[in-house]
Amino acid sequence: MVSQYPIARCLAAGVSRRAGGTAFVRALLVAAAAGIVVAVGVSPAQAQTVSPRRLLEVVDFGPPVVSPDGRRVAFRVEQASIERNTWDTVWYVQELDGGKAPRVVAHGGAPLRDSAGVTVPATAVWSPDGRWIHYLAVLEGTIDVWRAAADGAGAEPLTLDVADVRGFLLSDDGQRLLYRVGATRQEVITEEQAEYDRGIRIDKAVPIGQGLFRSINIEGRWASQRYAGMWFGRAPLLADTPERWKAVDLLSLERHELPASEWPPRPLEPTDLDPGVPTPWRLAQEPGGERIALLTRVGHANGFRDAPDVQLAILTGTGNRRVTRCTAALCTGKAISGIQWRPGRDEVLFTITDPDAGRAQSIHRWDVSTGEVHPVLQAQGVVNGGRDRASTCGVSAMALVCVAAEADRPPWLEWIDLDSGQRQVLFDPNAALAADLASATSARLLRWMEAGGQVFTGQFFPARARDGLPPPLFVTYYNCMGFLRGGVGDEWPLASLAEQGVAALCINDPPGYLLDAVARYDRALSGVRSVVELLAAKGEIDPARIGMGGLSFGSEVTLWTAMHSDLLAAASITSPSIEPNYFLFSTLRDDAFFEELQRAWGLGAPDATPERWQMISPIHHIDRIGVPLLFQMPEQEYLYALGLALPLVRAHRADLYVFPNEPHQKFQPRHKLAAYERNLDWFRFWLQGHEDAHPAKAQQYLHWRTIRAAPPARHADAAKTP
């Protein structure tokens, strides 16, 4: 079968990507000219089905970057390939007059990922003359800076360094590329092998309970891992090797080391500001200028991690401590989440992510000379730089180029006039899926208040009643921004569930991280309980058939709901909760780790704070979990959860799957598809009594029928609340 993906076609043809890249890009152009852009390929038989695979194969955008002349935009797209179990990426350049389709200019390589498995945003840097875009790419096991001709003529690597490039910038005149590196690839490989041969000494930096030798995909290769930072970040060996800067002359392509005196200054950080300035949590320096836009949290925390309000202000420079605040109504008491300067103007553009509107976003412009604020647009979903919430739109003096997405509409690229707010779609590779979603199942925003007065929002995918009975409901809890494939981590195919007769709801955790874990979990449980009552009273769901699942905090809330209510009929989690193994494996960590454990959960060592452990940890409440539980865990984390999972599996009350080489959020396409499909099967089995007749699933259902036949938890009713 001929692949419908241009990258797959080029790889299958054996096109060389390293030697200049011109032939590869030309092959991509042939595919694009034939109308085969990176898009979801579905057969006519699938056209009316929102399958888990189609949700997985959504095309995602990286941050758009507008050219210096404001006439074009560069961006990268990313899409899963199930067949090759990888992610394909392509760089595009598109004219902003709206008259032409985007032009393929380069293959983007494998996506770089952080240690949680999330794609690191890929951002292009334009040459001052607009002839080239420059970008980091992982190709053939190395991380280099590449440049691609904006007219699609070809692409080539510029650095070709013995070490992976960690970051880069162009000189102001565009004649030199400066880049930074650490240890060489061979030095890292040699150190990994030396550790393997002599044995690995276990210390505070070693992630205990995980693979010790080349077990994590980080910086584009399978590497031996070490903790990085206070929490659970990861880095390869020799990551602490001092960085050094090098330069490439872009005319001769000659490369040389830079003396320390010529190293570029590091990006501006909050600590660079005058000590008299309240510490901002986000800042943006005016391009080519001295002014700095600031977002600072203000107000009294009152039991929350952070102060509740956000203040927008500017400084005239790093040495100034006098801030100019935005005092207009549109920037006061608002959930401002992003800032950037409008080129060539006295305006700061800021984004509001409104919790009362289900975290829909709006963009405004603040004239810092007059104090006036003007709205630019109000979106129904997100409008920013892509899936990464910190990414901003591409910006010119006249317009924004943003990635937009809604709960039931996958992402597209659009142009927005900054003065009029006029919007125009530039590129929509997910249009076919959007149309099918619109006909099959549309989401609607819910807003409700629980008994204590806390307001919640969520996105609800209704399902049709069958046999005169209201449908069951699946709930996931955490964050519901942008296009909803499967909640945070993308594991529960919400639209697929709804199309198959199981209504689906994603609930946003209200603003403010409560430091008391019990209050944090109880707030979430109250939100779940109140919306179930609301939907049941309207006859939209059957309250006797409720399923729930989540990742990370969503997993914790799912378990808390199972332990402290009688709401659920089935549950599914993919992340561990706090249990003694979690503490044991972290015994050698620095004090900062244990300080955060105490601050956010009130937990010391199990023998030092036994009452708190008894209250928080689900391992002490196994008999209170009276619902069948599906564990679909990443290999990096499943050992933390075995104190809970193994007793449940042994008692035939749970099913446990572990996905090899996966971090906090699974990223291998086949694994994600397997998790999607198993979750769909799991909740249809428990909430509808449905079994898929596919022969490959016979063993799966045999296990689940065993769980169904097992006796209930001995004390399942002891903790249930009325």
**pLDDT tens per residue across span 608-654:** 999 999 999 999 999 999 999 999 999 999 999 999 999 999 999 99
| pLDDT value of residue 47 | 39
| pLDDT value of residue 1 | 30
Task: For 606-671, give the secondary structure using H, E and C.
Answer: CCCCHHHHHHHCHHHHHHHCCCCEEEEEECCCHHHHHHHHHHHHHCCCEEEEEECCCCCCCCCHHH
Say yes or no to pLDDT of 703 above 80. Answer: yes
Pick from 9-23, 174-188, 580-594: least confident: 9-23
| pLDDT value of residue 437 | 95
Please report which confidence band the pLDDT of residue 3 belongs to, taking 50, 70 and 90 as the band edges: very low
Those residues with Cβ within 8 angstroms of residue 508's Cβ, 6 or more apart along the chain or in another chain: 355, 358, 359, 456, 457, 458, 478, 479, 480
Spatial CA neighbour of 526 closest among 447, 443, 600, 455:
455
| pLDDT value of residue 211 | 87
CA distance 564 to 525: 8
* CATH C-level class of 270-427: mainly beta
Domain 443-579+617-709 is of which CATH architecture?
3-Layer(aba) Sandwich (3.40)
Spatial CA neighbour of 556 closest among 536, 579, 587, 533:
579
The structural domains of the chain, with segments of one domain joined by +, span 1-107+135-154, 185-236, 270-427, 443-579+617-709
Say yes or no to pLDDT of 90 above 50. Answer: yes
Percent of the chain at pLDDT > 90 equals 81
Mean per-residue pLDDT of the chain: 90
CB atoms within 10 A of CB 378: 15
Spatial CA neighbour of 489 closest among 378, 387, 344, 356:
387
- pLDDT tens figures, 110-167: 999 988 889 999 999 999 999 999 999 999 889 999 999 999 999 999 999 999 999 9
CB < 8 Å & 24+ apart, contacts of 24-31: 24/107, 24/155, 25/104, 25/105, 25/106, 25/107, 25/148, 25/152, 25/153, 25/154, 25/155, 26/154, 28/90, 28/104, 28/107, 29/103, 29/104, 29/152, 31/6, 31/104
Say yes or no to pLDDT of 192 above 50. Answer: yes
| pLDDT value of residue 114 | 87
Average pLDDT of 488-517? 96
Average pLDDT of 563-582? 94
| pLDDT value of residue 714 | 58
| pLDDT value of residue 46 | 38
User: pTM of the entire structure?
Assistant: 0.91
Average pLDDT of 221-239? 88
Say yes or no to pLDDT of 715 above 70. Answer: no
Pick from 44-48, 243-247, 523-527: least confident: 44-48
| pLDDT value of residue 515 | 94
Please report which confidence band the pLDDT of residue 480 belongs to, taking 50, 70 and 90 as the band edges: very high
CB atoms within 10 A of CB 68: 14
Say yes or no to pLDDT of 578 above 80. Answer: yes
Spatial CA neighbour of 403 closest among 371, 433, 425, 372:
425
**What are the structure tokens assigned to 583, written together?**
């503490």
Average pLDDT of 449-471? 93
Beta strands across the sheet bearing 309-315: 282-285, 292-298, 309-315, 324-325
